[in-house]
Amino acid sequence: MEATGVYWLPLYGVLEAAGLRVLMVNGKHTRNLPGRKTDMQDCQWGATLHAHGLLRGGFVPPAHIRRLQDYLRLRQDHLTLAASHVQHMQKALERMNVKLHDVISNLVGVSGRAVIEAILAGERQPLRLLALCDAQIQKRKAERVQEALRGTWAEEHLFALRQAWESWKHYQGQIAACDAQIHQVLQALQATLPGAKDPDSGSPGPVARKRPGLHAPVIPGLDELIRRLCGGRDLTVLPACTSYSVLQLIGEIGLDLKAWATAKHFTSWLGLAPGSHQSGKRHRGPDANATGRGRLLCVMARSLARSKNMALGGFYRRMAARRGGLVAIIATARKLAVFIWQTMVKGLDFVEAGLARYEARVLETKQRTLHRLAKQLGLTVLPAPKAQ
């Protein structure tokens, strides 16, 4: 069967539950000759190709992974909708000439939420509103916050602020409900793994964890749970990989990466493999081949742009200077994908070499290239004399 939107998913699940082996194929691989096209002719042509063994099935995660995927994608939708209501709150404050969102970094942080609730409760004094903020804000931004909280307080804009605030809180409840369901799915998934009754067997000890992201799910013991699901392999030691990003990866690719024979197969499936994007006069952008499957890795790679001591961050900046930011993001995302495949399939342990080691290797490569070119031209490269 062909993948057409979400229409294939219910039928795929029914056939899979009945014990049939279903191949989900790419519609581009079943194209017939030009002419009349009907659904009946399409399915007959697909059956003919399959009877001759000319079709290959694409990757479809198992049923339990698809269940986790549905919850994670629904949660992401709630995050997107909640963010739109934060923008509505900012607009309402802007219309009232209240510039709080320009002074504090997060309008829906602890301080921002306390101030908004007080405003909706009827408080208008800037000094009293300032007292609700965090101690660091009161110490460093007291004067700016007081000036930002002098508004016009129009009734219609207060109404809009209240509407946006209630909508944002509603989606926070929806996100919390999704977190509870995700936790149940992860526990059920862990129970199906070998050695589930003895979770400490064959797993390394705890290591230092990265700080969870702003929108990370609130699940107790998420780091340890993900490590056990990955067979004791800790993907969070990889650059730009947090527990939340690893959880999202599991929801998209599952736990068994042996479906891809090599790391090149894996990066190609993600749409991150290097290649030409030009056919005749038609030229696509460098990110045109990065599909939705690889978009998460591209977001993770983008976070390395401002890293200080990571070798992969130095690689990103070097590529961005040569080829531009879009190519650098895809190239860095591909390296991340290779590290993930090697960790999950080969069991390799990643060791951060550091930025200094990476820059030294780049310098060695340049020196070897320079000596090779000089040899081809019949020249000799000599080191510059040391200044006395």
Question: What is the rounded average pLDDT for all residues in the chain?
Answer: 88
DSSP code per residue over 370-384: HHHHHHHTT----PP
For the stretch 313-333, pLDDT in tens is 999 999 999 999 989 999 999
Residue 289: pLDDT band with limits 50, 70, 90 = very low
Residue 26: pLDDT band with limits 50, 70, 90 = confident
Q: Which of 15-19, 195-199, 209-213, 350-354 has the lowest mean pLDDT?
A: 195-199
Whose CA is closest to 248, among 77, 27, 73, 60? 73
Q: Enter the DSSP assignment of 342.
A: I
Percent of residues, the chain, with pLDDT higher than 90: 60
- Cα–Cα distance, 73 to 53 (Å, whole number): 34
- Provide the pLDDT for residue 31: 79
- Provide the pLDDT for residue 199: 47
> CA separation (Å) from 244 to 209, 226, 236, 349, 380?
12, 9, 9, 20, 53
Q: How many CB atoms lie within 10 A of CB 69?
A: 18
Mean pLDDT over 284-297 rounds to 65
> CA separation (Å) from 146 to 103, 107, 139, 156, 348?
10, 15, 12, 23, 54
Domain locations in the chain?
A: 8-58, 64-178, 230-274+287-350
Residue 195: pLDDT band with limits 50, 70, 90 = low
Mean pLDDT over 278-298 rounds to 68
Contact 111, 132 (CB under 8 A): yes
Beta bridge partners of 25: 2
Instruction: Indicate if the pLDDT at residue 208 is higher than 80.
Output: no
Residue 192: pLDDT band with limits 50, 70, 90 = confident
* Dihedral (CA of 42, 45, 51, 57) sign: negative
DSSP-H helix ranges across the chain? 8-17, 39-51, 63-95, 100-103, 110-121, 126-130, 135-140, 142-148, 155-191, 222-229, 243-253, 263-269, 292-302, 311-323, 325-341, 355-376
Contact 79, 215 (CB under 8 A): yes
Contact 275, 346 (CB under 8 A): no
- Cα–Cα distance, 72 to 182 (Å, whole number): 7
- Provide the pLDDT for residue 113: 94
Residue 197: pLDDT band with limits 50, 70, 90 = low
Whose CA is closest to 221, among 253, 178, 187, 251? 187
Residue 293: pLDDT band with limits 50, 70, 90 = confident
Q: Which residues of 73-110 are buried (b: 16+ CB within 10 A; e: fewer)?
A: ebbeebbeebeebbebbbebbebbebbbbebbeebbee
Q: How many CB atoms lie within 10 A of CB 322?
A: 9
Instruction: Indicate if the pLDDT at residue 201 is higher than 50.
Output: no
For the stretch 170-187, pLDDT in tens is 999 999 999 999 999 999
Q: How long, in residues, is the chain?
A: 388
- Provide the pLDDT for residue 351: 85
- Cα–Cα distance, 268 to 127 (Å, whole number): 58
- Ramachandran area for residue 97 (φ above 0: left; ψ -120 to 50: alpha; else beta): left
Instruction: Indicate if the pLDDT at residue 291 is higher than 60.
Output: no
For the stretch 221-249, pLDDT in tens is 899 999 999 988 889 899 989 999 999 99
Contact 182, 76 (CB under 8 A): no
- Cα–Cα distance, 251 to 73 (Å, whole number): 9
Instruction: Indicate if the pLDDT at residue 30 is higher than 70.
Output: yes
Q: Enter the DSSP assignment of 345.
A: I
Percent of residues, the chain, with pLDDT higher than 70: 92
The pTM (predicted TM-score) of the whole model is 0.85
Contact 13, 63 (CB under 8 A): yes
Quickly tell me which residue has 């504090």 as its tokens.
Answer: 104
Contact 281, 305 (CB under 8 A): no
- Cα–Cα distance, 333 to 288 (Å, whole number): 14
Instruction: Indicate if the pLDDT at residue 341 is higher than 50.
Output: yes
Mean pLDDT over 76-92 rounds to 96
Position with higher pLDDT, 376 vs 287: 376
Quickly tell me which residue has 């990370």 as its tokens.
Answer: 216
- Interacting residues of 340 by C-beta distance below 8 A, sequence separation 6+: 235, 238, 241, 249, 257
Residue 275: pLDDT band with limits 50, 70, 90 = confident
Type of residue at 308: K
- Provide the pLDDT for residue 292: 63
